[in-house]
Amino acid sequence: MKKRTEEIIELLRQTYLGADTELEYETPYQLLVATMMAAQSTDKQVNKVTRSLFADEGEPQAMVRLSQEELERKIGSVGLYRNKAKNILATSNILLEEHDGLVPMTLAELLKLPGVGRKTANVVLSNAFDIPAFAVDTHVFRTSRRLGLAEGSTPEKVEQELMRTFQRVDWKDAHHWLIFHGRRTCLARNPKCDICTLWDLCTSEDKSI
């Protein structure tokens, strides 16, 4: 079992070497906002929106000058934009009032921000601050369970398992390996098992011959 897990980790490493976030950002605040926008949308769509949004509102001081309606108009092409606009404005206000306009660097503080769940908080910690954290999104959840790297029934349980399975130094990269695997090969419906480099090691019921 241990050997199989090690082989899977090495193959993921080789297959997705250099995998990184596909969201475009220059500061922790921009990554936080982009990640908040990414639910129910593609990174490509989010990048399209944030490229023009961040040109004028790339920091909380400028963001809070927008009204809810103005921000909705700017991000209207991403899914759930009304709720996202509300959360982005509320979060930006809290950053200004309680954190000197900066993004906090702890999971507990990040989780207090409106619209920021565990996945978003962990993405910010690991990618913006290089603080070891394992963000579990829908792709990581699905692919790690299919590969037998985790069995948990919730993202939080899977996060705990993956933090035990992978070395701390690999947490950030492994998150990206599993996302790339889920987006490119191990698709939710009709996974491309015929081109999967992990086929020999996969024991998933979803695996096709």
Task: Give the residue numbers marked as catalytic.
Answer: 119, 137
Q: Are 24 and 72 in contact (CB under 8 A)?
A: no
CB of 183 to ligand SF4, least distance (A): 12
Largest CA distance in the chain: 56
Q: How far is the CB of 124 from ligand SF4 (least distance, A)?
A: 28
* Burial readout 112-137 (b: 16 or more C-beta within 10 A, e: otherwise): ebebbebbbbbbbbbbbeeebbbbbb
199 touches ligand SF4 by CB under 6 A? yes
Pick the closer one to ligand SF4 by CB: 28 or 148: 148
**Rounded to whole angstroms, how far apart are CA atoms 158 and 150?**
6
Does the protein bind ligand SF4 through residue 185 (CB under 6 A)? yes
Q: Does 191 bind ligand SF4 (CB under 6 A)?
A: yes
Which of 136, 147, 158, 162 is in the footprint of ligand SF4 by CB under 6 A? 147
CB–CB of 35/124 below 8 Å? Answer: yes
SS3 76: coil
Q: Which stretch binds ligand SF4 (CB under 6 A): 16-24, 46-54, 166-174, 201-209?
A: 201-209
Using the minimum distance from each CB to ligand SF4, give the nearer residue, 154 or 208.
Answer: 208
**Closest CB to ligand SF4 among 51 and 192?**
192
| Chain-centroid distance, C-alpha 124 | 8
Find the binder of ligand SF4 among 74, 139, 146, 175 (CB under 6 A): 146
What is the C-alpha separation between 101 and 30, in angstroms, rounded? Answer: 12
Sequence letter at residue 131: I
User: Under 8 Å CB-to-CB from 22, ≥6 apart: which residues?
Assistant: 43, 44, 47
CB of 72 to ligand SF4, least distance (A): 38
Rounded to a whole number of angstroms, the minimum distance from the CB of residue 192 to ligand SF4 is 6
In the list 22, 24, 72, 206, the residue contacting ligand SF4 (rule: CB under 6 A) is 206
Q: Which two tokens stand for residue 90?
A: 């509320």
Site string for ligand SF4, 35-54 (x = CB under 6 A): --------------------
Residue 150 · residue 144 · CB < 8 Å: yes
Residues that bind ligand SF4 (CB under 6 A): 146-147, 185-186, 191-193, 196, 198-199, 202, 204, 206-207
